Amino acid sequence: MRISWLIPILVLLAVIIPVAQFTDYHLFQLTMVVVYAIAILGLSLLTGFNGQISLGHGAFYAIGAYTTAILMTTWNMPYWMTLPVSAVVCAVFGFLIGLPALRLGGLYLALTTFALAVAIPQILKYKAIDEWTGGVQGLVIDKPDAPFGLPLSPDQWLYIFTAFVAAVLYLIAWNVVHGRVGRAMMAIRDHSMAAEAMGINLPMVKTSAFAMSAMYTGLAGSLGAIAVQFVAPDSFQVFVSVFLFVGLVVGGVSSIGGTLIGAAFIEFIPNFADKLSKAAPSAVYGVILIAVMFLMPMGAGGFLYSMWRKMVGPRGGAPTQPATKTGAVTYNDGAGLTGTGSRSPELVERPAGVDGRPEV
């Protein structure tokens, strides 16, 4: 049973209904959900599909936000023109940060990226660049009006614009993951030595994955800055990186669709926890997070996909037989390629991700 023809209709409805029915405040919240979804998608490409753990993507989010803010306030550049510039800047930073990743991995890489997230707010406060960044005071951005005289409020237009950008980025990510580059990324994730033996260029693929991931998160930062209309160093403390990682795990580490669920979680659940308990909202948030992880260990995307498979049956791309204790897996990658490979025990024993491949 194929539902691909339904996706454009669902996307269109997801844009039209909120614009027609929701208030500007609720549209702002939905815009931030889409923004976070783009950022988490970038993190998923790196961690879920390439196996590189990052706890510092809040730094790329900040770089993208400040790039857009500086271009709009100092250079009077239109908001839409700042996005490609932000994408290039963040991709370059991501590529450079990805170079140490060639020698680091696992927790060591996670700690290195975490250090980057800790350092960025302090760098943005540096006196020598106050003229550009606004120092501790930050920069104020004007929210753009709808073009061509369209009868839309700034929040309505920004939601439509953000949803359009997200749709393009999701389409690109889907094609990357299901193409040769995606298969190379997942081969490195599953067994880097075997991937290199098959002729995959590990340095190029890993640094390119870092660059693409940073580009996605930086674009999210640009859109987030426009939506919030303000950037300041204290807005990009290390908790931004932690929240993005929480959204990744909640949605499903290697789930493209699950990124939307993870984004909704980090946008709405903190407010929900605050309403439940004014005295200890963080405790309530922690309990909810633990419950979600206990009930959906594969993430929301993996959980929903497993429910869907139970209803309609398996499709191509899922493992054709269970893994043995030694880690041997017979698979079909959905593109007509079958084979038998060896996986590490921690990957073998986990349920398949939403794309039919084991999650990291």
What digits encode the pLDDT tens for the residues 69-99? 999 999 999 999 999 999 999 999 999 988 8
Contact 35, 175 (CB under 8 A): no
Q: Is pLDDT above 50 for 347?
A: no
Closest to 329 (Cα-Cα) out of 353, 358, 306: 358
**pTM of the shown model:** 0.84
Q: How confident is the model at residue 344 (pLDDT cuts 50, 70, 90)?
A: very low
What's at 127, amino acid-wise?
A: K
Q: How confident is the model at residue 21 (pLDDT cuts 50, 70, 90)?
A: confident
| Residue 149 Rama label (left phi>0; alpha psi -120 to 50; beta) | left
Which has the minimum average pLDDT: 67-76, 259-268, 276-285, 286-295?
276-285
Angle formed at CA 41 by CA 37 and CA 42, multiple of 5 degrees? 125
Contact 332, 280 (CB under 8 A): no
Q: Is pLDDT above 90 for 171?
A: yes
Which has the minimum average pLDDT: 178-187, 229-238, 316-325?
316-325
pLDDT at 2: 55
Look over the chain and give the mean of its residue pLDDT values, rounded to a whole number.
Answer: 84
Cα–Cα distance, 351 to 359 (Å, whole number): 7
Report pLDDT digits (tens) over 101-156.
778 878 888 999 999 999 999 999 988 888 899 989 999 999 999 998 888 999 99
pLDDT at 341: 46
Three-state SS string over the chain comes to CCCHHHHHHHHHHHHHHHHHHCCHHHHHHHHHHHHHHHHHHHHHHHHCCCCCCCCCHHHHHHHHHHHHHHHHHHCCCCHHHHHHHHHHHHHHHHHHHHCHHHCCCHHHHHHHHHHHHHHHHHHHCCHHHHHHHCHHHCEECCCCCCHHHCCCCHHHHHHHHHHHHHHHHHHHHHHHHCCHHHHHHHHHHHCHHHHHHCCCCHHHHHHHHHHHHHHHHHHHHHHHHHHHCEECHHHHCCHHHHHHHHHHHHHCCCCCCHHHHHHHHHHHHHHHHHHHCCCCHHHHHHHHHHHHHHHCCCHHHHHHHHHHHHHHCCCCCCCCCCCCCCCEEEEECCCCCEEEEECCHHHHCCCECCCCCECC
